[in-house]
C-alpha cells in the first residue's frame, strides 16, 4: 500500500498532486487552439435545447457548475440532486440528461438516469470509469480520464469533471469567449502545479485546526466551489462546515459567525461579483470572524483578510478549479493536523451503491 502512495502520507495528498497530469489527460487530443474548437468524440448530435444534470455529493457540485456554464450560453440548464430527481421528476421535453458520476456506480445517480431514460430523454454519463454501469446504460459517455482515485474524498476527479464539463459546454454551445476559455484550460495544469508548490494552505490549516465550524462563501462559479470546500472539510476533518452563496450568509447563518468560525471567501477579478463578496466579507469581519481570502488579488478582499490563499489570474471558469485546489489542501492539512483517517473517513464509502 505504501508503494501505491508513491511516498505521500495519504492517497488523497497523492491525488491532489496528480491534478496537473489528470487535467492534461482530460484535455489531450480534445482541444484545438488554432480553430478554437473542441472534439469530444462521436457523441451524436448533442446540441441540446435544454440540459439537466443529475449527481450526488462532489459530483453534484461539478454538475451545479456545469449548469451555470450552459445557462450562460443561453441554454436552459438545471442541476438536480440525483436522490431527489426520481421522487419529483422535472419536465424533460427534449432535454439531454447528464449523469455526473466519478464511479459510474452511484445508486441514486443510476436511478435518476433510468428515470430520465424511461421518460424518453437522451442520456450522457460524464464518468471516470470506463465500462461502469452509468457508461453502459447511457446513450453516450464522456470520460474525464482522471485515472484511479483511491481516497474516499474526491479531489482530482472533481477538477477533471470541471475540465470535461467545460469541454462538453464548448463542444455543444456557442461562446464568444471560446478562445479565452480554451487558452485558460490549456494553462490550467501548469497553474495548478505552481499553486500546489506555493500554497500556504498548510499554515492556514495549522492556525485554524481547533475552529468550531468553518464557513465557505463565493458567488457565481465560486458558489459550487464553496459547497465543495465545505463538503471536503466535513468529510475528512469531522468538523462542522457549510458552504453558501456569498449573499446568503446574512439571511440567517451570520448568527453563527463568531471569532471561532473562520470564513473562507473566494473572489475572482474586481468586477461586481467580487465587490459584493468583499461586502459580505466586511460583514463577517465586523463579527470578529477570521477571514481566509482565496483570491487572484484583483479585488480588495485582502484588506479584510487574516490569511490569503493566492490563485493565479485566469478566466473565472478555470479559477474555480484553482480555488478548489486551495480548499482541498486546507481541508487535507486540517484533517492531518487532527490525525483523522483521511483516506477512509468514518461512515463513508467511495461508491454509494444504495439509495
Whose Cβ is closer to ligand AGP: residue 62's or residue 188's?
62
Smallest separation (angstroms) from ligand AGP to the CB of 152: 5
Question: How is 147-179 classified by DSSP, letter by letter?
Answer: ----SSS--HHHHHHHHHHHHHHHHHS--TTHH
The distance of closest approach from Cβ of residue 154 to ligand AGP in the complex, given in angstroms and rounded to an integer, is 4
Cβ 140 to ligand AGP shortest distance, Å: 17
- Residue 303 has φ and ψ, to the nearest 5°, of -65, -25
Nearer to ligand AGP by Cβ, of 26 and 274: the residue is 26
Q: Which is nearer to ligand AGP, 58 or 123 (CB)?
A: 58
Kindly list the residues in this chain that would bind ligand AGP in the complex (CB under 6 A): 56-59, 101-103, 106, 109, 152-154, 235, 351-352
Whether 322 contacts 196, CB under 8 Å: no
Apex 244 CA angle, 170 and 219, nearest 5: 45
Q: Are 140 and 104 in contact, with CB atoms under 8 Å apart?
A: no
- Residue 192's closest CA among 26, 67, 5, 7? 26
- β-strands 37-38, 31-32 pairing: antiparallel
Least separation in angstroms between residue 189's CB and ligand AGP is 22
Nearer to ligand AGP, 3 or 87 (CB): 87
> What is the distance between the terminal CA atoms of the chain, rounded to a whole angstrom?
31
Task: Return the number of the residue (264 or 316) whose C-beta is nearest ligand AGP.
Answer: 264
What kind and span of H or E run contains 322?
A: helix 316-337
Q: Based on CB atoms, which residue is closest to ligand AGP, 236 or 309?
A: 236
Residues in the chain: 355
For ligand AGP, the nearest residue by Cβ is 57
Structural contact between residues 112 and 92, judged by C-beta atoms closer than 8 angstroms: no
Smallest separation (angstroms) from ligand AGP to the CB of 276: 29
Burial zone of 174 (CB within 10 Å; 0-12 exposed, 13-18 middle, 19+ buried)? exposed
Whose Cβ is closer to ligand AGP: residue 134's or residue 281's? 134
Q: What share of residues in the chain are helix, strand, coil (percent, to 5)?
A: 45, 15, 35
Q: Cell numbers of 284, please? A: 463577517
For the CB of residue 333, give the shortest distance to ligand AGP in the complex, in Å: 16
State in angstroms the smallest separation of the CB of 171 from ligand AGP: 21
Amino acid at each position: 500500500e505504501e508503494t501505491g502512495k508513491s511516498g505521500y502520507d495519504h492517497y488523497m495528498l497523492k491525488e491532489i498532486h496528480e491534478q496537473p497530469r489528470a487535467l492534461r489527460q482530460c484535455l489531450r487530443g480534445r482541444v484545438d487552439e488554432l480553430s478554437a474548437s473542441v472534439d469530444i468524440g462521436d457523441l451524436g448530435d448533442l446540441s441540446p435545447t435544454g440540459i439537466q444534470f443529475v449527481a450526488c455529493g462532489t459530483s453534484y457540485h461539478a454538475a451545479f457548475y456545469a449548469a451555470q456554464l450552459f445557462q450562460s450560453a443561453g441554454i436552459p440548464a438545471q442541476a438536480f440532486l440525483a436522490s431527489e430527481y426520481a421522487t419529483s421528476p422535472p419536465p424533460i421535453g427534449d432535454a439531454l440528461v447528464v449523469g455526473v458520476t466519478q464511479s459510474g456506480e452511484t445508486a441514486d445517480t443510476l436511478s435518476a438516469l433510468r428515470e430520465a431514460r424511461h421518460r424518453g430523454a437522451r442520456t450522457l454519463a460524464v464518468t471516470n470509469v470506463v465500462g461502469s454501469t452509468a457508461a453502459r446504460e447511457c446513450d453516450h459517455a464522456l470520460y474525464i480520464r482522471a485515472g484511479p482515485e483511491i481516497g474516499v474524498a474526491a479531489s482530482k476527479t472533481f477538477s477533471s469533471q470541471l475540465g470535461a464539463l467545460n469541454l462538453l459546454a464548448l463542444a455543444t454551445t456557442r461562446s464568444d469567449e471560446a478562445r479565452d476559455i480554451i487558452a485558460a484550460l490549456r494553462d490550467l495544469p501548469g497553474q495548478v502545479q505552481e499553486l500546489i508548490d506555493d500554497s500556504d494552505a498548510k499554515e492556514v490549516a495549522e492556525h485554524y485546526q481547533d475552529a468550531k465550524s468553518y464557513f465557505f462563501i463565493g458567488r457565481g462559479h465560486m458558489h459550487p466551489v464553496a459547497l465543495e470546500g465545505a463538503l471536503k472539510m466535513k468529510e475528512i476533518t469531522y468538523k462542522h462546515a457549510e458552504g453558501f452563496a456569498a449573499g446568503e450568509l446574512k439571511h440567517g447563518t451570520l448568527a453563527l459567525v463568531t471569532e471561532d468560525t473562520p470564513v473562507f471567501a473566494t473572489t475572482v477579478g474586481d468586477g461586481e461579483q467580487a465587490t459584493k463578496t468583499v461586502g459580505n466579507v466586511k460583514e463577517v469581519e465586523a463579527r470578529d470572524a477570521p477571514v481566509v481570502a482565496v483570491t487572484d488579488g484583483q479585488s480588495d478582499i485582502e484588506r479584510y483578510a487574516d490569511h490569503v490563499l493566492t490563485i493565479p489570474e485566469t478566466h473565472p471558469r478555470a479559477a474555480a478549479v484553482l480555488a478548489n485546489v486551495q480548499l482541498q489542501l486546507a481541508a487535507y492539512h486540517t484533517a492531518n493536523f487532527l490525525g483523522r483517517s483521511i483516506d477512509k473517513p468514518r461512515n463513508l464509502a467511495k461508491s454509494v451503491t444504495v439509495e
